[in-house]
Structure 1
Amino acid sequence: MNIKKNGIQILLISIAVLFLFVMLILPLAVVLTKAISDGWAVYAAALSDEYTIKALSLTMQATVVAVVVNTAFGLFAAWTITKYHFKGKQLMTTLIDIPFAISPIIAGLIFSLTFGRMGWANGIEDLLNIKIIFAVPGIIMATIFVTSPFITRELIPVLNAQGTEEEEAAALMGASGFTIFRKVTFPHIKWALLYGIILCTARALGEFGAVSVISGHLRGKTNTLPLHVEILYNEYQFTAAFAVASILVIMAVLVLILRNIVEYMGKKEGIKDVS
């Protein structure tokens, strides 16, 4: 029985390792090796290119804004859903999940139809003298949309598990709302919040679909790093495309390392609390 069990275990582990190697490790290795295939000078030139720097700047700008906005929204939405009873709560929860359910391409089309020249919001844009489609605001809005559920969805289970007893006790003792959040609620949700922020950051850095639809692919103006990689590849600048792609790979690896650190710290603190 144990021999059969060990055989199944080895088989399952082998399948998992083979899948990860073929689908993840091998492609990432190809990207990195192709990026430096023509030498470090060519690699450095691709990374220091004016359009690469601008694409990186726009990517970081959209990511930072999306993370800040979604952190605030995630906290407010999760708090509202878990701490209050009201009509339409289920509808709100469903609406929060919409970015998970629809294609990013559809999200880009929605923004184009809303804020484009034929959209109902175009008159407001003209009145305020702002441009959203084929401009930086559109890139940021699309990034916020596709990443909006991550933090909320990480916080809701933790807040549900926490309950309201500790907060109600603190309120009865005269603590203010901010004090209750800072001293009672936040210690319970801080690791889930950090984990949600990391997931939101990773998704924002690699967003392609929605941004591609509304960016207009204006080089040096509305191109993020993923879009810049596509343009370089379509122009048959393969080494430059892989070099720029390596930036995204490196950032993704760093985000994964940070995620593992957060998971470890959260589990470590949980073990301490139990003991």
Structure 2
Amino acid sequence: MARSRTTTWVLRVVVVAYLVLLVGWPVSLVVQHTFADGLTSLRHTLSEPSVVFALQLTASVALQATLLNTVFGVGISLLLVRKEFRGKRLLSALLDLPLSVSPVVVGLALVLAYGGRGTWFGPTLEANGLQIIFATPGIVLATAFVSLPLVIREVVPVLTEIGTDEEQAARSLGAGGLQTFWRITLPAIRWAIVYGVVLTLARSLGEFGAVKIVSGNLEGRTQTATLLVEQKYQDFEQATAYATSFLLAAVSVACIIVVSFLRPETKARR
């Protein structure tokens, strides 16, 4: 027993030390540099038009990508768990592709598909007055691609765990498919969806590689907050870079903390 407790404490110390060195310390340095002169850097950053535009664009893109992946994620999760069809395993494997492929490759692939003349869809889209690459739609597509699996991987295990007994009972009582989903399935998976949405939102806010390729990084037009951080840091405007990084990190961390506190509380009430 004594050896077991000692081993447990050693493992805890190692894990905590690893997390502090890998995550806690670097993030704390960003916070420290952001508030090195109080709120002056933060106020100055939020007064710059280019920063305000980049933050607004980032928020808009993240919300659109999250909405797309939430709707698609719930639908594909129901398909994977509730239906049997050929190629199911292949489809499940393909859904993990965004986690294994470099975002830069994703961005390049989107450019080759939608970039204009000589691409698959570029000429047709341009003929109809729709620009994908070097415009907001391309940024949304790139962001949605890299965050695609997050909702799905949260919802699928929950759907598998709850089974189909309640859904079948509802159908036997005359409920339609949509009614069964809204009254039975959705309440059962709501927290998986919420957590998947939070992870998707956090991932979308921080996307860099794919967005840099498809956006062109045009200040005041297609420059997102992460691209602005890189530019400001390279231009030796480090105070702005630190402040913008802090704002991005703060939003993501706040969302995860709120969900972490609400989720156990809701379960306890149930």
Letter in 1 for 2:265: M
Cα distance in structure 1, aligned partners of 2:115 and 2:139: 13
How far the C-alpha of 1:266 sits from its partner, in A, is: 5.3
SS in 2 for 1:236: coil
Cα pair 2:107 2:214 within 8 Å, conserved: yes
Letter in 1 for 2:163: G
How far the C-alpha of 1:138 sits from its partner, in A, is: 0.6
Residue equivalent to 1:182:
182
Cα pair 1:38 1:239 within 8 Å, conserved: no
Alignment of 1:190-229 (within 5 A): 190-229=190-229
Residue equivalent to 1:69:
68
Over the matched positions of the two proteins, sequence identity in percent amounts to 34
Letter in 2 for 1:116: G
Note the alpha carbon deviations across 1:187-218, whole angstroms, 9 max, x for none. 21111111111111111111111101111110
Aligned-CA RMSD value: 1.5
Cα distance in structure 2, aligned partners of 1:43 and 1:188: 42
Note the alpha carbon deviations across 1:150-172, whole angstroms, 9 max, x for none. 11111111112222222122112
Cα distance in structure 2, aligned partners of 1:155 and 1:41: 43
How far the C-alpha of 1:265 sits from its partner, in A, is: 3.4
- Count of paired positions: 269
Stretch of structure 1 that moved more, 164-173 or 222-231: 164-173
Cα distance in structure 2, aligned partners of 1:166 and 1:230: 51
How far the C-alpha of 1:263 sits from its partner, in A, is: 3.5
Is 2:141 aligned against 1:132?
Answer: no
Stretch of structure 1 that moved more, 254-263 or 63-72: 254-263
Residue equivalent to 1:27:
26
**5+ long unaligned stretches in structure 2:** none
How far the C-alpha of 1:10 sits from its partner, in A, is: 2.3
Cα distance in structure 2, aligned partners of 1:89 and 1:11: 43
Residue equivalent to 2:141:
141
Cα distance in structure 2, aligned partners of 1:20 and 1:93: 31
How far the C-alpha of 1:71 sits from its partner, in A, is: 0.9
How far the C-alpha of 1:267 sits from its partner, in A, is: 4.2
Residue equivalent to 2:249:
249
Alignment of 1:90-169 (within 5 A): 90-117=89-116, 118-169=118-169
Q: TM-score, normalised by structure 2?
A: 0.94
How far the C-alpha of 1:262 sits from its partner, in A, is: 4.1
**5+ long unaligned stretches in structure 1:** none
